[in-house]
Amino acid sequence: MSLDDIKADIKAVIDEKSCGPIFIRLSWHDAGVYSTGKLTGGCPNAAMRFTDAGEGTFGANAGLPTVALSLLRPVTDKYVTSGIISHADLWTLAANVAIEVMGGPIVPTRFGRVDARDSSGSVEGQVGRLPDGDKGVDHLRDIFHPKGFDDGDIVALSGAHTVGKCHPDRSGFDGPWTEMPLKFDNAYFSEMLSKEYVPETTSGGCPQNRCPRTGTVMLISDLALLEPPFRRYVELYARDQDAFFADFVKAWVKLQENGCTGLRDTL
Ligand code: HEM
């Protein structure tokens, strides 16, 4: 069985279930706990699959251990159980297949992430590691700078919200960011600049912003990117999709590999 077989099986699930966005979020939250500075440690190790304690119980991960892992289960059963690929590498690969299948850039995947054996392989908590959607630029910097990302990287990475949506029963926020939430393009940036947004509170009590004309949303953390110096990158990516894709791939691969050692180019 080759890497192409695994990718084809992931693609089949995405085509059938339209679930590309949640695979991207799964990889992001597995890897995104990494931090240096006040908080240390954390890496993509699939600790989220344990729901007795740790990352699988974090509110920020709502929907991932349940919905995302159920969707991925047929591929997991076929390739992880037989020892061909680790859970953490599969989650990384599934996100990268999703990005490509939805029209985004081709992201190179390296392999060798080591899975947590139980929930003790989790980081201690989500606070300071994973971002909140109801906060602004200071918070985004506090979260992303200790992971090795600068202001431009924060904008490029946030561009992943060009796909997917917020689910009231997961995050409490509600709605898609763009009018074509299964297409990975630069619409997140062009729509953010061209639309008017009105603040609202969701039924779950979360503050967000909605475009009344189209029903798309932006979180407070998204509209924070309209402030200088972030805005310069929003404007660049809105007019130049190639620039967005190039900067996104650079930051995204770094995110997916943060905290890992000895990764290799082949399975
Ligand atoms: C910048 C700070 C960020 C905040 C505050 C944030 C917050 C959120 C929230 C609240 C949701 C909704 C979850 C749900 O209800 O299902 C979400 C979804 C999502 N996020 Fe982020 N996010 C951030 C950055 C990122 C990054 C860096 C990526 C990947 C590079 C990403 C990818 C996604 C995707 C693809 C979804 C859609 C999931 C789905 O449709 O099921 N986000 N994010």
pLDDT tens digits for range 199-246: 999 999 999 999 999 999 999 999 999 999 999 999 999 999 999 999
Pair type for strands 207-210 and 175-176: unpaired
Please state, rounded to an integer, the average pLDDT across all residues of the chain.
98
Task: Tabulate helix, strand, coil % of the chain (nearest 5).
Answer: 50, 5, 40
User: Which residues does ligand 1 sit against, CB inside 6 Å?
Assistant: 21-22, 24-25, 28, 63, 131-133, 140, 157-158, 160-161, 163-167, 170-171, 173, 219, 221, 252
Q: Which of helix, strand or coil describes residue 38? A: coil
> Can you name the residues that pair with 198 across neighbouring β-strands?
210
Say what percent of the chain tops pLDDT 90. 100
Whose CA is closest to 47, among 143, 150, 119?
119
Domain ranges, ordered by start, for the chain: 3-128+252-257, 137-248
Fold entry, domain 3-128+252-257: Peroxidase; domain 1 (1.10.520)
Name the band, by pLDDT with cuts 50, 70 and 90, for residue 1.
confident
Fold entry, domain 137-248: Peroxidase; domain 2 (1.10.420)
Burial class (CB in 10 A: 0-12, 13-18, 19+), 194: exposed
Tokens linked to 215: 């029903």
Determine the residue of 70, 147, 151, 161 to mutate for testing ligand 1's pocket, defined as the one with the most ligand atoms within 8 A of the Cβ atom.
161
Running DSSP on this structure, what letter comes out for residue 73? H
CA of 82 to the centre of ligand 1 (A): 31
Tokens linked to 153: 């990287």
Running DSSP on this structure, what letter comes out for residue 49? G
Name the band, by pLDDT with cuts 50, 70 and 90, for residue 191.
very high
Residue 31 confidence (pLDDT) above 80? yes
Q: How far is CA 220 from CA 39, 43, 207, 223, 248, in A?
A: 25, 27, 8, 5, 21
Q: pLDDT tens-digit profile of 123-142?
A: 999 999 999 999 999 999 99
Q: pLDDT tens-digit profile of 60-118?
A: 999 999 999 999 999 999 999 999 999 999 999 999 999 999 999 999 999 999 999 99
Domains 3-128+252-257 and 137-248 are alike in CATH topology: no
Question: What is the rounded distance in angstroms from the CA atom of residue 170 to the CA atom of residue 32?
Answer: 18
